[in-house]
Amino acid sequence: MNSKISEIYNIDPRIIELGRKAEESCAASFARIDGIAEYNGAKVLKAFSDNKVSEPCFYGSTGYGYGDFGREVIDKVFAQALGTEDALVRFNFVSGTHALSVALFGVLRTGDRIVSITGKPYDTLEEVIGISGTKGNGSLMDYGVEYGQVDLNDDGSPKLSEITEAVKGAKVAYIQRSRGYSLRPAFSIDDI
């Protein structure tokens, strides 16, 4: 801590020394975090550069999204920085459930089937899918999308032996990485 600050607030020198020792013991962790931030910052800057982010990207548009150069570029920047095939970046996605709902409604049609292969999905997605809540509220099932589910083993791991058969003919195999409100562990990328 800066000695000038301790003079202003009259902080006991023992507390200052404890703070210094705490910072020292965390230095390796902070350095690792700083390294990750530096690497990710470089990835973003490279994506900006490669996709030629420039002043025209920030011009106004009609609001309809047609020919919106900036919107197209930011989607490309996010896709490159995150290492994905494509990205859809919009400020008006208000939650993860909203984003997942848009994706599912965008892909699934009447007669299609979705199978959750990591057990029951988020509580908030249950009504979107139609496995809970009032029928007729515009869920996927209301629109004729079929739902299937492969429950998890008692230890929280996927039932790999059942997944292959369960997803036959399905348009979407839904994998929920996060544990949501359940007590199971979250799945790592390697698990998936």
Q: Is the pLDDT of residue 1 over 60?
A: no
Residue 182's pLDDT is: 79
Whether the full predicted model's pTM is greater than 0.85, yes or no, is no
Q: Summarize pLDDT for 139-159 with one digit per residue, the tens.
A: 999 999 999 999 999 988 899
- Residue 9: which pLDDT band, with cuts at 50, 70 and 90? confident
Residue 151's pLDDT is: 94
Q: Is the CB of residue 162 less than 8 Å from the CB of residue 150?
A: yes
For 164-188, what is the mean pLDDT? 90
- Residue 92: which pLDDT band, with cuts at 50, 70 and 90? confident
CA 143 to CA 173: how far, in whole Å? 18
Nearest to 70 by CA among 79, 85, 58: 58
Choose between 58 and 108: higher pLDDT.
Answer: 108
Which residue ranges does the chain devote to CATH 3.40.640.10? 96-174
Nearest to 71 by CA among 82, 87, 84, 83: 87
For 83-103, what is the mean pLDDT? 91
Q: Is the pLDDT of residue 168 over 90?
A: yes
Q: Is the pLDDT of residue 7 over 90?
A: no
Continuous segment of H or E residues that includes residue 128: helix 123-129
Choose between 30 and 178: higher pLDDT.
Answer: 30
Q: Summarize pLDDT for 114-127 with one digit per residue, the tens.
A: 999 999 998 889 99
The structural architecture, per CATH, of the domain 96-174 is 3-Layer(aba) Sandwich (3.40)
Would you list the DSSP string of 3-35?
HHHHHHHT--HHHHHHHHHHHHHTHHHHHHHHH
Q: Summarize pLDDT for 12-33 with one digit per residue, the tens.
A: 889 889 999 999 999 999 999 9
Work out the percent of the chain whose per-residue pLDDT is above 70: 97
